[in-house]
Amino acid sequence: MNYLFVVAHPDDESDAAGGTIHKLIKEGHNVAVAIMVAEAAARRDLSTTLSDDEAEALAILGVEKVYHASFPNIKMNIVPHLDLVQFIESCIDDWKADAIVTHHPTDTNNDHVMTSYATQAACRLFQRRPGVPHLKLFMYMETPSATEWSLDSSSSRFTPNYYVEIGKEGVETKIRALQAYKGVMRPYPHPRSNEAYEGLAVYRGCQAGLNYAEAFEVVFEAR
């Protein structure tokens, strides 16, 4: 299958689904990543080598195809919704995506929220444009330091119902990819620490009778 991971920022792909991306590629699936905010200029510890960091991280995961947009960091809420949707649609069309994975819409990071809403609209492209493959899978992913901070209690929070066993090797690969991004990792007990990533993988694995896992929420699935 052709998987498209639509993320707000560089590092989100590794943070939320690095082990799964690595596993999918090893299994022979095709994986592309679409990054909405390529420069992430509002970061406190912005790396001066961010594009190189990203290339190294994606190489560790095995990703060869990347789409970049240059929407403004932490200002995606002022970008016309249609502009966001049309960029994602262009990625879906070019990649012939069968499966789409993106942020949960209650993440505390506003760019994640805007990315999720735009991806929700774009995922229906196969109904609007002839020749686009029928969508087989649409899922939300869990982004540590953002998804658990879903402060809007009026909205449905991330409820995982799909677990991918990534193994200890998958956790280690995920962490190596994240370490390629300068300034991203933090000391424990920050959620972006080695111990936290391994602990979350153990916890999600235990929920599904697995060893180490990443969790997702399936929104749409067609077989």
**Domain containing residue 199:** 2-221
pLDDT in tens, 211-221: 999 999 999 99
30-35: strand order across its sheet? 65-68, 30-35, 2-7, 99-103, 137-141, 213-221, 162-165
The verdict on pTM exceeding 0.75 is yes
pLDDT, mean of residues 90-96:
97
What's the CATH code of the domain at 19? 3.40.50.10320
Domain count, the chain: 1
pLDDT in tens, 49-72: 899 999 999 999 999 999 999 999
pLDDT, mean of residues 184-203:
96
pLDDT in tens, 13-41: 999 999 999 999 999 999 999 999 988 65
Which pLDDT score, from 0 to 100, does residue 46 have? 59
